[in-house]
């Protein structure tokens, strides 16, 4: 394993259920509770249920925490992230793990994305994992995407509820279920997951 930006022993975490190892730098965003992250990724993939012929859009994909496990299912995955450094890390992790069928793009998901080719694509499913501000600005892309399944992972139940309400009221989705994971025990911070479908 080569050094990552001059670090002789790169930091890394694993998702053993998907035979994946992710390298990262101390300045990169990751989910720091490794055990809960493994459970969260497995649950999100279970809810998303990607098939071998599916095309999945992973928004706010970071360094590929969900993108690469989805691709392990055989689906083709398009990951989009606002931080170009994380996009580069995601590409490196896909190569290091020999994961095919993925592509990554850098884009400000809080801005106008309508003219990007990836935003004009048709998708079978969407995974969202936005920061605390939520993902209101990118919801029209999901609405036009033909996606029938959405899994929304959130660290802020308030913006999750707002965005789920928009997906239901404006884009024809139905909320199938929701739950929480105690990412940081003894604090008020939780991770929420919502699962939506439309016909």
- Global pTM reads 0.89
> With contact defined as beta carbons under 8 Å apart, do 140 and 71 qualify?
no
Residue 1's pLDDT band, with cuts at 50, 70 and 90, is very low
> With contact defined as beta carbons under 8 Å apart, do 93 and 169 qualify?
no
Query: Class of 11-197 per CATH?
Result: alpha beta
CA separation (Å) from 49 to 43, 75, 99, 152, 180? 10, 10, 18, 14, 19
Active site residues: 155
Residues 60-81 have a mean pLDDT of 96
pLDDT tens across 102-156, in order?
A: 999 999 999 999 999 999 999 999 999 999 899 999 999 999 999 999 999 998 9
Residue 6's pLDDT band, with cuts at 50, 70 and 90, is low
pLDDT tens across 134-148, in order?
A: 999 999 999 999 999
Given a cut of 90, is residue 36 above it in pLDDT? no
For the chain, the 3-state helix, strand and coil shares in percent, each to the nearest 5, are 30, 25, 40
Domain ranges of the chain: 11-197
């Amino acid at each position: 394993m080569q050094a990552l930006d001059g670090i002789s022993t790169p930091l890394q975490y694993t998702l053993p259920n998907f035979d994946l190892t992710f390298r990262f730098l101390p300045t990169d965003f990751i989910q720091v509770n490794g055990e809960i992250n493994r459970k969260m990724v497995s649950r999100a993939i279970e809810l998303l249920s990607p098939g071998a012929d599916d095309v999945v859009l992973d928004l706010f994909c970071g360094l590929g925490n969900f993108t690469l496990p989805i691709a392990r299912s055989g689906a083709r995955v398009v990951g989009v992230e606002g931080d170009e450094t994380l996009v580069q890390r995601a590409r490196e992790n896909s190569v290091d793990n020999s994961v095919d069928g993925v592509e990554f793009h850098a884009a400000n998901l809080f801005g106008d994305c309508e003219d990007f080719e990836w935003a004009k694509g048709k998708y079978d499913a969407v995974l969202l994992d936005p920061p605390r501000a939520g993902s209101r600005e990118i919801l029209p892309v999901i609405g036009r995407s033909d996606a029938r399944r959405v899994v929304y992972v959130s660290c802020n139940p308030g913006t999750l509820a707002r965005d789920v309400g928009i997906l239901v009221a404006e884009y024809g989705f139905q909320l199938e279920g929701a739950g929480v994971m105690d990412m940081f025990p003894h604090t008020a911070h939780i991770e929420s997951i919502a699962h939506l479908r439309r016909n």
